[in-house]
Copies of this chain bind each other. A is one copy, B any other.
Amino acid sequence: MPAFLAAIEVHLKPGALDPQGQAVGKGLRALGHAGVTDVRVGKHLRVRLEAADAAAARAEVERMCRELLANPVMETFSFDVVAAS
């Protein structure tokens, strides 16, 4: 079966408090990056998978996000799927 590479971003929903992002923002400003006004920290996953075709790969990655990779209550996700080189 052909191989595909999915790049997946998972972030807290816009309204959700992000203490990790706040801490990173504070750290950046303390290092002199005074122009930083907001930081959000999320996950970035790279998943390599075999699937019949690109449409099947996309459908499977969407299921992975809903089932395991993102928490639907707190998080949003987006992804791209490309043929693996």
Partner of A50, one of B37, B48, B51, B67: B37
- Tell me, yes or no, whether A83 is within 8 Å of chain B by CB: no
B64 touches A47 (CB 8 A): no
A contact residues, range? 35 or more
CB-defined contacts of A58 to chain B, threshold 8 Å: none
Q: What is the interface of chain A mostly: helix, strand, loop, or mixed?
A: strand
A42 cross-chain contacts in B, Cβ below 8 A: 43-46
0/1 per residue, A25-51, Cβ < 8 Å to B? 101100101011111111111111111
A46 proximity list for chain B (CB < 8 A)? 11, 38-40, 42
Instruction: Determine which of B3, B25, B28, B35 lies in contact with A1 in the assembled complex, contact meaning CB atoms within 8 Å.
Output: B35
